[in-house]
Amino acid sequence: MRRSILIVSLLSAGIFAGWCGHALTPSPAHPRAVEPRGPLPDWEQIPIRRFREAAPSVVYITTTEERSRDFFGLDVVEVPAGSGTGFIWDTDGHVVTNFHVIKAAARAYITLVDGSRHEATYVGGAPDKDLAVLLLAKTPPKLRPIPLGTSTDLQVGQAVLAIGNPFGLDQTLTTGVVSALGREIQSVTRRRIAGVIQTDAAINPGNSGGPLLDSAGRLIGVNTAIQSPSGASAGIGFAVPVDTVNRVVPQLIARGHLERPELGFEPVEPRLVERAFGPQKGVMVGKVARGGAAARAGLRGVSVEGRRVFAGDLIQVVNGRTVQDWDGLLDAVEALPLGSTVNLEIQREGRKIPVAIRLEAARD
């Protein structure tokens, strides 16, 4: 009896073990079938095509600066200073970037899309516009200049693409829209840059100097700054409009600096105008240079007779455009060719008087 129970128990255990072993043995792994995707829709294909077309025109810029190892400055070494983005302007090897990217650089190096690294020389800069031009020391073959667009017909809501090297990550694409037009930001000289494009395409440190493109792949701006309490992208980026770039860059290549008009007078600081004459909208003429453009146009500056101070002419309109401060006046005249005649409307002794002034090149 005991023997029979033992045999049955062993048989039962074997059957249970076999069943358990069969249950615990994994079945062979088979990958799931992949669903065919089909062609990408146009809204996905457009940024892909534009990135492939523009990427060869975008470069990575690194800079070095000189530092002294000792107190007397006899042992000077080069150390990394920063990095940014730029883009190829022409087949001669000119590269456009922001002035603040290279302003403190002893040397600049440009890495092309193929990974080759080249030293670049400084051609010229316009700090007031935060733009600069570099030149590749040796021009590689088959450089691809970036196509130029215009910023005059931009519309809020249209699609944009930004390509750059944020945080040293090269060839990074971000997309968004034109968020606003006609913004103003400060340049490195504290001079106001007007007509700036605002975008929500992510722009981070390292994107500076990179191109902002429209959906046709044309340059419409140079990514310049962000507004963010953390220093990283918060969806508010700014780009210098391409119409400004296309006016400034040829001058930098030709002369090394932006040719400015000389009006022939010094403006009065707004706080002094308000203190002496009350709130005023416009630019008050202070000291008029003898023989200059303002003197020949008959503009009058601030004058003093005994203890009395007499207001100078208050410039309020330039070619039909209202100006409220010195930056606004400079923006208006710098957009005009040198040698042209500008029609001013001034306020003098309570009367509005038209005055014509001829723009002359400033003498540096």
What positions carry a catalytic annotation? 100, 130, 208
Alpha-carbon separation of residue 332 from 127, 266, 295 (angstroms): 18, 17, 20
Cα 110 to Cα 102: distance, rounded to the nearest angstrom: 12
The secondary structure of residue 148, as a DSSP letter, is B
325 contacts: CB under 8 Å, gap ≥ 6: 270, 283
At 198 the three-state DSSP class reads: strand
Handedness of CA 350, 356, 358, 359 (dihedral sign): positive
Alpha carbon 142 to chain centroid distance?
Answer: 26
CB 221 within 8 A of CB 162: no
d(CA 101, CA 94): 16
Rounded to whole angstroms, the Cα distance separating 212 from 173 reads 10
* Cβ-contact 203, 233 below 8 angstroms: yes
> Which of 96, 133, 121, 100 minimizes the C-alpha distance to 221?
96
d(CA 125, CA 95): 12
Residue with tokens 């667009």: 149
Alpha carbons 211 and 225: distance in angstroms, whole number = 12
CA 207, CA 199: separation in Å to the nearest integer?
13
